[in-house]
Amino acid sequence: MPISLLVSSGTDNALCTWIFDDSPFSPIPRPLHSRRGHAAPITSLDFLPVASDGSDSMGKWILSASKDRSLWGFSLRKDSQNTEFSQGNIKHKMKKRAGVKASTVQDELKVSEITCMASCLNRDGGMGTAVKGPVWSNQKGASAEALNATGWESVITGHKGDNCARTWLWGTRKAGRWTLPTHDHTEVKSVAISPCGTFALVGSAAGSIDMFNLQSGIHRQSFPIRVTPAQAKKLELLRAANREKGRFEILAGQGKHTDAVTGLMVDSLNTTVVSCGLDGKVKFWDFLSGKLTYEIDWSNMCSITGLRYNRSGDLLFLSCDDLAIRVVDIETKNIVRELWGCVGQINDYCISQDGRWVIAASMDSVVRVCDLPTGHLIDAFRLPSTCTSLTLSSTGEFLATAHADGVGIDIWNNRSLYTHVPTTHIDENSIIDVSQPTASGENGSAMIEAAFEANDSNDIETGLTMPIEQLHQDMLTLSLMPKNRWQTLVKLDTIKQRNKPKEPPKVPKQAPFFLSGAMSKSGDQDGHKASQSLEESRVSRLQLEGQAGSQTQFSALLSSGSECNDYEAFIEYLKSLSPAKADLQIRSLEPVMRSEHNELADFVAALTQRLKTKRDFELVNAWMAVFLRIHSDTISSIGEDVDQVPGGRVLLKRLGEWKVEQQKESIRLSEMIGQCRGIVGFLRSAR
């Protein structure tokens, strides 16, 4: 029986299907399926952090806020998992407002536009949370024991024109219990959550900072700490006495920002709170006492519009209205880098997980990527529309951007994970114009295809470059290759497994009506063969194409290096390969060991020789890890008949030499690091 369906779309960015019921018949359709998104431009994006490293949800979820007063959670893996956070029973409230346009009432009943947000899943309750009760009612609704067992709110947002921050539950995708007001009753300008997931901080337009407990909703601290009128008088007398003696000590109750607080963060140990504001000051507060411990004053130079914190390097990244991003070491309180180049206001910026890249979007519609160690601008592209918000996944795989004239989120692949990307400095004339991604992926390149792209012979890295040769033969030297390249090589099997289709394409059970029975049988057989051929992945086809052209050079360099006992040319060639090609070449090593000279033993000898020179330490270990994983079966089978296989004895000897050298270098390195840590700990300790 045919089913009557109606498909509709509108200005609310929703695609809905409606079904007409036949029994009982109804002329009014009922909703069947829908796909929705933001109905207005997006104002804020943030990749959701994960509760633990290595979690399956790493880089999967994006929190998105829009001018349509909604908060969404978008999945990068499955569109059907996209969900709007519930703000309570709005339809029930709408019925109480008779005679008013429905859409107008619905907009009024939602909270105002989200201007800032923060999240931490360390105490998220998930689907089984015990949090219950009306939304934003400031009612506990559950015992402390139940909340300790199941968790509580994990997302906090600030809203335009609202003096209260609001909490949300990520697990159930709905509004939470608490509204967290600012002490001076002015608009919320910045929010943050402590890394433990227990405390929320709220910064106001007038400069106050308040801290709340997310489990109970109770106010726990102010920065600076609040003082009574009697205490204020005593502090004023003490301040006057210190001024006469020429001492300038920061007392309790001092240090409040004189303008809007634009950034907040808590360090990894919950000992220090850092804030910045439009008054041009960066303030360091004691987490427990609320006392100001240190202050950086840039008021004569600029105002500070934003703050980002990189936990791996303990670095603060501060955007300023003079179009610079300044990097401050949280331990020394000194500026370690200034990044210039943005033209127009800095709309948003983010930091890579390892703290190496700073990605910024400005009013000139250009997205810039800066390399922090060198301070160089290494990539820049201009978009048709101004980017208003961006965020980078914790894995470094995806960059998400939102634009001024669109309601969607654009996802960009990080090509440096799959192929070599030059990291030399570029000038403003090198900025290219690119189009925004499309939902179908048209005119884009797949990730695995990018891994096998041929290097452009015209791509010559120019400009001043730092010498990367070893400074001293006893110094352990890294390759200065991007960290993601060798990490991708080690985890390439996992990447391929994730990209594999769950099941092969299905062949139609019935042949078309115009084919005869005999033809349909042959057609089924052909379809079965076709489905088997489709099971071969695109990676395999690309590998076979690249094998004929590059395997000869790989084997020739390895063989010539073995003859003259100099593997320099071979190592340099191996370094030039992309992770996918390097994996392919290691797999293609000939396992035949009838003679003493074989490719497996020569490959181990090449890595051992490189390890002895103390160069390319991380790359050599990554190559050896891949080698042992791929050829472990061949190596383990040698022990059964080692006397009958001459090449097997040589391979085991080479592996023994590698083990000795690796242990020797590991012991030397651990001793030196231990000595350095002891000296640094002694210098930093209070004496």
Task: Write the pLDDT tens digit of every residue in 166-179.
Answer: 999 998 999 999 99
> What was the pLDDT predicted at 448?
44
Give me the percent of the chain exceeding a pLDDT of 70.
80
> What was the pLDDT predicted at 303?
95
> What was the pLDDT predicted at 99?
53
The token duo for 112 is: 């105002």
Residue 502 DSSP label = S
Flag whether pLDDT at 147 surpasses 80.
Answer: no
Flag whether pLDDT at 583 surpasses 70.
Answer: yes
> What was the pLDDT predicted at 487?
79
Please indicate whether residue 219 or residue 580 has the higher confidence score (pLDDT): 219
Flag whether pLDDT at 164 surpasses 70.
Answer: yes
Flag whether pLDDT at 287 surpasses 80.
Answer: yes
Flag whether pLDDT at 507 surpasses 70.
Answer: no
CA–CA distance, 20 with 226 (Å, rounded to integer): 63
| Residue 536 confidence class, pLDDT cut points 50, 70, 90 | very low
User: In terms of C-beta density within 10 A (0-12 exposed, 13-18 middle, 19 or more buried), how is residue 272 classed?
Assistant: middle
| Residue 533 confidence class, pLDDT cut points 50, 70, 90 | very low
Residue 49 DSSP label = P
Which of 212-216, 421-425, 654-658 is predicted least confidently? 421-425
> What was the pLDDT predicted at 463?
45
pLDDT digits (tens, 9 = 90+) for 30-66: 888 888 999 999 999 999 987 655 566 677 899 999 9
Domains 115-223+255-300 and 305-382+414-444 share a fold: yes
CB 658 within 8 A of CB 611: yes
User: In terms of C-beta density within 10 A (0-12 exposed, 13-18 middle, 19 or more buried), how is residue 29 classed?
Assistant: middle
Average pLDDT over residues 669-685: 84
Which of 190-204, 223-237, 611-625 is predicted least confidently? 223-237
pLDDT digits (tens, 9 = 90+) for 22-33: 777 778 888 888
Average pLDDT, the chain: 82
CB 267 within 8 A of CB 276: no
Question: Across the chain, how many H-helices and E-strands are there?
Answer: 15, 31
> What was the pLDDT predicted at 642?
63
CATH of domain 305-382+414-444: 2.130.10.10
pLDDT digits (tens, 9 = 90+) for 335-382: 999 999 899 899 999 999 889 999 999 999 999 999 998 889 999 999
Average pLDDT over residues 191-212: 95
Say what the pTM is. 0.68
Flag whether pLDDT at 145 surpasses 70.
Answer: yes
Give me the percent of the chain exceeding a pLDDT of 90.
37
> What was the pLDDT predicted at 38?
92
Please indicate whether residue 648 or residue 181 has the higher confidence score (pLDDT): 181
The CATH homologous superfamily of the domain defined by 115-223+255-300: YVTN repeat-like/Quinoprotein amine dehydrogenase (2.130.10.10)
Average pLDDT over residues 681-686: 72
Q: Nearest-CA neighbor of 650 among 586, 590, 607, 604? A: 604
Name the amino acid, one letter, at 307: L
Domains of the chain, by residue range, sit at 1-36, 115-223+255-300, 305-382+414-444, 483-499+538-675
CB 155 within 8 A of CB 129: no
Flag whether pLDDT at 633 surpasses 50.
Answer: yes
| Residue 428 confidence class, pLDDT cut points 50, 70, 90 | confident
Which of 144-148, 622-626, 672-676 is predicted least confidently? 144-148
pLDDT digits (tens, 9 = 90+) for 474-502: 788 888 777 777 778 887 777 777 767 76
Average pLDDT over residues 205-216: 94
Q: Which long-range contacts (CB under 8 A, 24 or more apart) does 570-575 make?
A: 570/606, 571/606, 571/610, 571/616, 574/623, 575/479, 575/481, 575/616, 575/619
* Element spanning 571, H or E: helix 568-576
pLDDT digits (tens, 9 = 90+) for 242-262: 766 666 667 677 889 999 999
CA–CA distance, 317 with 645 (Å, rounded to integer): 59
Flag whether pLDDT at 520 surpasses 60.
Answer: no
> What was the pLDDT predicted at 548?
45
Q: How many residues does the chain have?
A: 687
CB 281 within 8 A of CB 297: yes
> What was the pLDDT predicted at 5?
86
CB 114 within 8 A of CB 159: yes
Residue 201 DSSP label = E
Average pLDDT over residues 463-476: 63
pLDDT digits (tens, 9 = 90+) for 91-121: 666 666 655 555 555 667 889 999 999 999 8
| Residue 454 confidence class, pLDDT cut points 50, 70, 90 | very low
Which of 160-174, 224-238, 435-449, 609-623 is predicted least confidently? 435-449
* Element spanning 308, H or E: strand 304-310
> What was the pLDDT predicted at 595?
65
Measured in degrees and rounded to the nearest 5, phi and psi for residue 600 equal -65, -45
> What was the pLDDT predicted at 449?
47
For the beta sheet containing 174-181, the strands, ordered from the edge strand earlier in sequence to the opposite edge, are 114-119, 155-159, 164-169, 174-181
Flag whether pLDDT at 451 surpasses 50.
Answer: no
> What was the pLDDT predicted at 221?
93
Question: How many CB atoms lie under 10 A from the CB of residue 116?
Answer: 25
Flag whether pLDDT at 68 surpasses 80.
Answer: yes
| Residue 158 confidence class, pLDDT cut points 50, 70, 90 | very high
Which of 268-272, 448-452, 557-561, 681-685 is predicted least confidently? 448-452
Q: Could you tell me the CA-to-CA distances from 396 to 56, 352, 485, 615 in Å, in that order?
A: 15, 7, 12, 26
Flag whether pLDDT at 687 surpasses 80.
Answer: no
> What was the pLDDT predicted at 460?
45
> What was the pLDDT predicted at 52?
58
> What was the pLDDT predicted at 516?
42
